[in-house]
Structure 1
Amino acid sequence: MAPAQERERRTLDRYTLHGVIAAGGMASVHFGRLVGAHGFARTVAIKRLHPQFARDPEFSSMLLDEARLAVRIRHPNVVTTLDSVQADDELFVVMEYIAGESLSSLLREAGRRGAQVPQPVGSAIIAGALAGLHAAHEATDEEGAALQIVHRDVSPQNILVGEDGIARVLDFGIARAAVRSQVSRVGQLKGKLSYMAPEQLRGAPLTRRADIYAASVVLWEVLTGRRLFTGECDAEIFGRILEGVVQPPSVYGDVPKALDDVVLRGLDRDPSRRYATALEMAAALEEALPPASPRAVGAWVEATAGTLLEARAKSLAAIETSQRSAAPAPPPPRPAAVDDAPPRDVEARLAQPSGGRGRAMRTSVTVPTMTRTVEDMARPVASALATPVAAAAPPRLASAQLVRASTLALGASALVLAVALGRSCSVRPEPDAPQAERAGAGESSPLAVAPAPGLAALASSAAAPAVSGAAPVAPATSAPAASASAAVAPSSTAAAPKPVAPATAQERAAAPARTARPRARCVPPYYVDASGIRRIKRECL
């Protein structure tokens, strides 16, 4: 391979075009690389026309027809066509890359060493090629109609034997098909003369049996190690083909008689006496000469063309290395975005049944729990179609201040209510001692009644702020403490007590000591009996 060809590199859409693998009379095949995202890459073979044919509409149409036909053939013994690319008014056909050598190159290397192809290996190669040809002959279009493909150029140059031991047919560039846009002109011959069927030379309509004839010529040359039709010029070769005199392969080597029959039937001048299908001939060949395994064929390929395969592998490794070194470095990771905006709340409102009281459920990350609870109590009923809404920061701050003010106002109101209840309790007439003792002991009396739910709830809600907001009050057990409590909480609505004459010293000494009235019992003004019912204390009425 020339150094200039190794340095050649061109970008074609998702592919990169590199050095030449092989060249023919009309086109050349290059190394190619399919480049995908995230470092994905795959080696392919890219076929392009020679420069003198690249911009010729007729040759471009032939290459495009080849791609359209080959993509309809799906078989392990046919080189797969992957894609077609148009770049700078030039057409490129992308195919799978097969590590191996053409049969013509293998025959040449074997002849240079004075060796022949082992008969089982030759049987495996030709049987595989016949299987691929049968797949082409049976190919259909998208609607299931037969394409009637005839390769017309079956030869050792167009049979590729891979290192995996599989023979594959390639190059459908001049294949005839029912849907082909490019049609051969009258009197124009396409293909290699030495492998053309007699009816092809006469210009008669071609069928798949023309490909069977060409495959039989290749089989004869593999078994004998020599060319079947030769001559000083094309006219001499032309005459020998039309004459149809063919010696059996056993004349030039140790070939079984059954194998002679297979070859000679495939080379019959009359197409009707040949095998009807390529698959039928492949079965007859395998029966006459059992083929070698793919592993044995691959080993023979490496032993015969090891130097060529090693040189191509080095070229491919250099291409892959250069592509990895030329690949751009991945972009640095983007830094995490910093959101300087104040935190926002997301409200989730639950739909409530019609007629019921809706309760808005709120999740906040900026408002304390007490503030959020009071705000929820003051929030209106949620709509049944309410959706999560992101609240803006400034209205949220104003709402929080309003809620705090409302909380303080409610606490002050509760404190005032508690003081008023204490005043009303302080001016009530003191009950008799037995009744007071029974009331203090929690016993029920005929006058005790259960408070209304609203009053009980109001008293319970007002008790907490009053107690938390004022200093703790100790139980009144002495007379000075009781008088001080009465002085702090006078009542403006109770009747004034009757004036009492001051007692003499003897009367004060003789009178029994009176216990101070425990006015602190009116906060709260109720008690809970044994049944769990809240009852108003008589001394607080």
Structure 2
Amino acid sequence: MEAISDNPARPSGALPATSPLGSDALYPGQKLGRYTLLVPVAQGGMARVWAARQSGQRGFQKIVAIKTIMPALAADPEFERMFLDEARIAAAVHHPNVCEIHDLGEVGDVLFLAMEWVDGISLLTLLKARPRTPLEDPVAVRIVADACAGLHAAHELRDDNGYPLNVVHRDVSPHNILLSINGQVKVADFGVAKAMGLEHAPTVAGQLKGKVAYMSPEQAVGDTTVDRRSDIFSMGAVLYEALTGYRAWAGANDVARLQNLLAGNIIPPKQVRPDIPQDLENILAYSLAIDPARRYQTAEQMRMALEKYLVSRSMMVSASNVANSVRMLCGREIEIRQAQIRQAAAAIPDETMGMPGASVEPYSVQYRSRGMRRSTATAITFVAGGITIAGIMGIVAVSSLPSAPAATPPTVASNPPTQTASLAPPPPQNPNIIVVRPSPSDAEIEVNHVILGKGVRSFDRPEPGQTHTVVVRAPGFETATLTINHDATESEWSVELTPSPDAAASAVSPPATATPTAPPTTVVAPQPPPAATPTTPVVKPTPKTGKTPAIPDNPF
């Protein structure tokens, strides 16, 4: 929560008894229902965050964060939609590594979120405290591993009927990873996240949301079907910066960065930091692959890789190690803000009844005028989840961290990055990774009740004594289920689904049997439809042709 100084506080003796409740009228001492604004702590292009005092019965008090839309944007329906979507998504996530939301309210023209107060800084602030200097490897790994845990919780979010919401954060960056003075790590700011089932229209094609310095290639080209793997790429960019002190792709401005990203000009980590451990470079390679199919398929996979690195080095790294770095590099800044909040709290009287005409009882604000169903709004106010509190919408839009030495002048790619745009030729197949190739190609793949997405998907081989249950499904086809154990001799599997009886009767399709995946140059002629009842799907390992994409050991 970086302090800002562009909103001078009024003297406590000059606070008016009443005030207009427009967004531009907010000031220290302003009351929003049971919340009293104390000190403005963060501001970006879209939102402002205040430290505020929550008051309750019998002298109850606590410090919370209040987030409001910037005055110039308060009347814009699009930004209001994003604000409400943030509340919907964040309120449903329950995880210690995701910021918690307490309340959603509206007083006059002010729409606000009451959130968990994280007494600390953003990862961006920690990185800027020592420009060109990486964090200690154990601390960087612990921060990113904990952030992956919170991100995975958001990705796994399901609706009331148990269907996945396919949440994508779309703005994973050092700005939105918060570090408390006690070493807790929190993922924040779901303001540009997307999810299934929202009442408002999603981002339109060609509209970029997020920060170019941490954006995935598919997000950069405006792909509206991005999935959780886009966030994994962004988390890889965060890890790269924490381990090297530089950003993964150079550029003096967003346009130059976008050009380098789309050209695949990711600077090899060893070029920036020759002593980086090979295991960490491999993790960066897996997370920063241009082709989403080559990346870690879930944030949990990336977290486990980071945890295994710590175990392999016999490193016991906890929140106390993160706390030591926060205090050492940014302790003075945190102390100054704490003093400002104490001073404001002492100077502003605690009137628990609020101003005349502005008191709002808990959970009684009018949500319907903001386009929310009352049932949805009520659920949001009762459920705790995650939200931003510091670095909201980019307190500093572009970090002052220097870029690494510029690479070869890039050319702008006219098409979305593909397998051919990977950072290096595909290496030999990794036996510890299982790859499933479905037919039809847009079939959905689920592993151990976790939906990985559509098309080719890869995941870790199960540990000894364990198995993975893989479910492949697609509309118009029979669902196929297979079990893969640790001792499976093959690491690539082709699954050809059988058309359902209704689909087989109305369309001509190949036989409903699984066959080895042919090399890309081979063309297989369609066969007549089966004359009898569709057969049970057959699953066979894919031959090791060496031409199929696999997660690279090191694409740098």
> TM-score, normalising length from structure 2?
0.57
2:188 aligned with 1:185: no
Distance 2:213 2:320 in 1: 31
Partner of 1:71: 91
Distance 2:116 2:187 in 1: 12
Partner of 2:288: 267
Pick aligned residue for 1:281 from 291, 302, 323: 302
Change (3 A) 1:124 1:6: farther
Change (3 A) 1:59 1:123: same
User: SS where residue 269 of structure 1 aligns?
Assistant: coil
Counterpart contact for 2:183–2:319, Cα < 8 Å: yes
Distance 1:327 1:157 in 2: 34
User: SS where residue 101 of structure 1 aligns?
Assistant: strand
Question: What is the Cα deviation at residue 145 of structure 1?
Answer: 2.4
Counterpart contact for 1:244–1:268, Cα < 8 Å: no
Distance 1:19 1:142 in 2: 38
Partner of 1:194: 213
Distance 2:7 2:185 in 1: 31
What's the Cα RMSD here? 1.8
User: SS where residue 110 of structure 1 aligns?
Assistant: coil
Pick aligned residue for 2:157 from 120, 139, 144: 139
Question: What is the Cα deviation at residue 6 of structure 1?
Answer: 3.7
Counterpart contact for 2:228–2:298, Cα < 8 Å: yes
Partner of 2:166: 148
Distance 2:285 2:316 in 1: 19
The 5 A counterparts of 1:2-401 are 2=5, 4-7=7-10, 8-111=28-131, 115-180=133-198, 181-204=200-223, 205-253=225-273, 254-289=275-310, 290=315, 292-323=317-348
Question: What is the Cα deviation at residue 315 of structure 1?
Answer: 1.2
Distance 2:307 2:159 in 1: 31
Question: What is the Cα deviation at residue 142 of structure 1?
Answer: 2.9
For residues 409-455 of structure 1, the C-alpha deviation after alignment (integer angstroms, 9 at most, x for no partner) is xxxxxxxxxxxxxxxxxxxxxxxxxxxxxxxxxxxxxxxxxxxxxxx
Counterpart contact for 2:260–2:266, Cα < 8 Å: no
Amino acid at match of 1:163: I
Amino acid at match of 2:94: R
Change (3 A) 1:235 1:327: closer
Amino acid at match of 1:220: Y
Distance 1:322 1:26 in 2: 29
Question: What is the Cα deviation at residue 243 of structure 1?
Answer: 1.8
Change (3 A) 1:232 1:247: closer
Counterpart contact for 1:154–1:215, Cα < 8 Å: yes
Counterpart contact for 1:35–1:41, Cα < 8 Å: yes
Distance 2:215 2:227 in 1: 12
Amino acid at match of 2:234: A
Change (3 A) 1:327 1:175: closer
Counterpart contact for 1:122–1:291, Cα < 8 Å: no
Counterpart contact for 2:147–2:187, Cα < 8 Å: yes
The structure in which a higher percent of residues are helix is 1
Distance 1:2 1:203 in 2: 36
Partner of 1:382: none
User: SS where residue 46 of structure 1 aligns?
Assistant: strand
If you compute each CA radius of gyration, which structure gives the higher value, 1 or 2? 1
Any runs of at least 4 consecutive aligned residues in structure 1 with deviations exceeding 4 A, and if so which?
A: 323-328
Counterpart contact for 2:249–2:267, Cα < 8 Å: no
Distance 1:208 1:140 in 2: 14
Counterpart contact for 1:65–1:182, Cα < 8 Å: no
Distance 1:72 1:326 in 2: 32
The structure in which a higher percent of residues are strand is 2
Counterpart contact for 1:248–1:264, Cα < 8 Å: no
> TM-score, normalising length from structure 1?
0.58
Distance 2:317 2:272 in 1: 22
Amino acid at match of 2:5: A
Distance 1:300 1:16 in 2: 32
Change (3 A) 1:260 1:35: same
Distance 1:251 1:71 in 2: 42
For residues 85-141 of structure 1, the C-alpha deviation after alignment (integer angstroms, 9 at most, x for no partner) is 111122101110010100001100122xx7431110000000011111000000122
Amino acid at match of 1:257: Q
Question: What is the Cα deviation at residue 324 of structure 1?
Answer: 5.3
Distance 2:299 2:211 in 1: 20
Unaligned runs of 5+ in 1: 329-541
Question: What is the Cα deviation at residue 326 of structure 1?
Answer: 6.2
Residue identity over aligned pairs, in percent, reads 40
Distance 1:9 1:200 in 2: 41
Question: What is the Cα deviation at residue 54 of structure 1?
Answer: 1.2
Distance 1:287 1:116 in 2: 21
Change (3 A) 1:182 1:97: farther
Distance 1:291 1:243 in 2: 39
Distance 1:152 1:21 in 2: 24
User: SS where residue 125 of structure 1 aligns?
Assistant: helix
Unaligned runs of 5+ in 2: 11-27, 354-556
